[in-house]
Structure 1
Amino acid sequence: MPNTNFENLYPFRILVSITFHYRAARLEYLFGVIRALSEYPVEVLDIVVVTNVDNEEKLTGMRALCEPLLEPIPSGQPSKKTLSFKSFTQLSNPWFLPWAHKSIISETFMSKDSTYTHFIYLEDDIVLSMDNFLYFVGFREKLAGYGLIPSFQRIEYNNADDHLYLLDQVGVSAFEGRQRVEIDNYTFVNLDYPHMAMFILDRALATEYVSSSSFDRQRSVAIRPDWGIAERASMSLCFENTPAGFAHRYVSPVNPVTRTTPRWSWVYHIANNYSKNEFTPFAKTRTDQLFASDESVAAWKPPSMFKRFLSRAKSGKFYVPPSQNLE
C-alpha cells in the first residue's frame, strides 16, 4: 500500500444531503455517489441521506453498504467522515421528499455553533468529484463580484458510440451574442437549460438562499412555474437576483477556442438512462457539440406514434423527465 501523506487536508468542513427515495435497484447509485464523496481529502465530511423509509432492515442494509466507504485508511488520516439517515415516512406527496433537506440547511448548516464551510445537495445518482468541488470553490469567489454562480452539467456515457452526452442541454446552441464574463482564459455564459439536480452553497449563499422564495416549496412556484416539484427543490439561487443581461445566475465555463465545457464542470449522471433512450430529447447533445456550427449534429426527432405505442405496450411505462425518478 502506498505511503500517502494526509497531513495537508483541504480546510473544508462539508455537510452533504442526498435525497434517496428507496428502491433496491438504485442502491448501487447511492453507493457510487457516496464513494465519490468519501474520497474528499477534507477536514470534515458529514453525509445525511434523506429517505422515505424507516424500516430498520432497509436502513441497516444501506448502512452496511455505504458506511465502510468512510472508514479511515491506516495512515493517521485526521479527516472526520460520518454517514447518517433522516427518514420522512409521513409525506402527503412522495414528490415532497426532495424538499425535506431544507431544514438541514437552516437548522444544521446555518446554526449558531456550526463550523461547516459548505453545503452540498445531491439527488441520489449525481457523482460529484473533488475536482468538481474545487472548481466550484475556485470560481465561486471570482464570479461573486458579478453576482453569478458556477454551475455544472450532467453528463452520460453512451456505450453504443463511446461518446459523452450533456443530459440537460437539448440541441445545439448559439455561442455568439451571449452575455459573458471572461475569467482565467474561460468564457462564462448561461447555458439554455440550467437544471442540474444538485447545488453547492457556502455560508454567504446559504444565508441568501434561506431568505429567498426559492427556498420554499410553495413560493418557489412563482419563481419558476414551468419547473416541477423536484426540479424546484434543486434550483437553489439559480433565478434569484439575476444580474442584468443574464437569464439566470448559473454560468458555465467554456473554452473560447474549442467551445467546449471543461470536464471538471461535468457531473456524472450515474443512472445513465437517457443517452440510449430514443423516446426523450435528453442526453442527445455530445459534450463537444453543444456550440457546433452545424445544428443538425444534435437534431433529435421523436419516434413515430406507432413505435411509441409498441414500446408502451411492451413495457407498460411512459416517458419520465430526467429528475422525476422517484417512482
Structure 2
Amino acid sequence: MGNIGSCCGTSEGTENRKMVPADLHSSGAQQNKKAAVQQKGNRRPDTLQCAENAASTTANPVGASSKYSGFSLHGVQKTSPVGYSNESLSTQDKAVRGKFLAKNVVTFFGRYKEKHCDEILEEGVARFCSDLNVDPAEFVVLALAWKFKAATMCKFTREEFTQGCISLQVDSIESLLDALPSLENEALTNFRDVYKFAFQFGLDTDQGQRTLPCEVAIGMWQVVFSKQTPALLSEWITFLNVSKVRGISRDTWNMFLHFTDNIATDLSNYDDSEAWPSLFDDFVEYYRTLTDKQEKSGESSQQDSDSASDLKVNEESGEKEENVALESPHSDSSSDIVEVAMAPTQNEDEMECVQSEPVTSDNLHS
C-alpha cells in the first residue's frame, strides 16, 4: 500500500516530489525568466514608437510628462533615460545636426559659387552681400570673413564657407540674417583679433604680397574702425596721402592700434625715443606742425575779426554823427543856403551892368 500511495501522489509523496532535482531546476528557470523580463524592461527603446509605448505603461500620474518626451523629430533622444549620460547624447545630437547642416550648406554654397571653379569669387560675393542687404565695405562683412577664416578678400573656398556656416549654425540667407547681430557683437568683443585678421585678409597672397598697398590699408582701416573710430584716424589718413606712402607693413599696422589705444589726442605723451616705427615719428611731426599753423591762423583770423569789428564800430559812429548834424537846427547848412541865395543876386547885378552899356560897332566887333 505504501508503494501504491506514493505512486498515486499521496501527501507524503507530494512533499517528496517538491525536493527532486528536476523541480529545483524548474524553480531556477522561473527566477531567471523573471530576471530577464526585468532586464528587458530596463532596455533603451530602439525607436520613437517603442519609447511612447514604454512611457504609456509607466505608473506616472495623469498629466505627468514621460521620461522619453525629449525625443527630436530625427529620433535623437535629448533627455537620456537612466543608464545613459547626457553628455554622450549631446555629442550625438550635435553630430546629427552638423550632418544635417552640412547637407544644406552644400546647396547654400552652390547658389554663389563659380561655374568654372569650386569657389565663391568677386561676383558671387557681391550677390551674397546683396542677398544679405549689406554693403561689402561694412564691418559686419569683415566679421563674417573673420568667422569664416577667409584667406583672401572677395573669395570663399568651399571649406571656408561650409565650416563658417556650421560654426554659426546657419544654412540659408534667412538664418544667416538672424545670426548677423550676434556675430557683430562677437567681433567687437574680440576686436583685437579681428583687427589683426584684417591685415592678412587684405593681402594678395597669390601675388606674394607681404605689405598692404597704402590705398588698400586705408580702406581696411576705414572698415575696421567704422564702429569705433579713433580721434586721429582722419589726420593719419591725410598724412599717408600727403606723404605718398606706398605700403603698410604688418608691424606698422599692429602698432597703429597700440598708438590709438595709448597716445593722447594731442600727442602730448608721445615719446619718440621709444621703439616706434619711423612713420609714426614723421606723423607726429606733421601733426604738430599742422596744429601750430592752425593755431597761428586762428590768432590771425581773430585779429582780423577784431579789426573789422573796430572798423564797423567807427563807421557806425560816423554815420550817427552825420545824422545828428543833418537833424540839428544850428548846423552850418543855413549859412550855405544864404550864400546860395545870394549868388543869383550878384549875377543879376552883373547882367544889368552889361546891359546898361550902349551897343556900338566896337562892342559888336569885340
TM-score between the two structures when normalised by the length of structure 1: 0.22
Q: Considering fraction of residues, name the structure with more strand.
A: 1
Greater relative CO (CA pairs within 8 A, separation 6+): 1
Q: Considering fraction of residues, name the structure with more helix.
A: 2
Name which one, 1 or 2, has greater alpha-carbon Rg.
Answer: 2
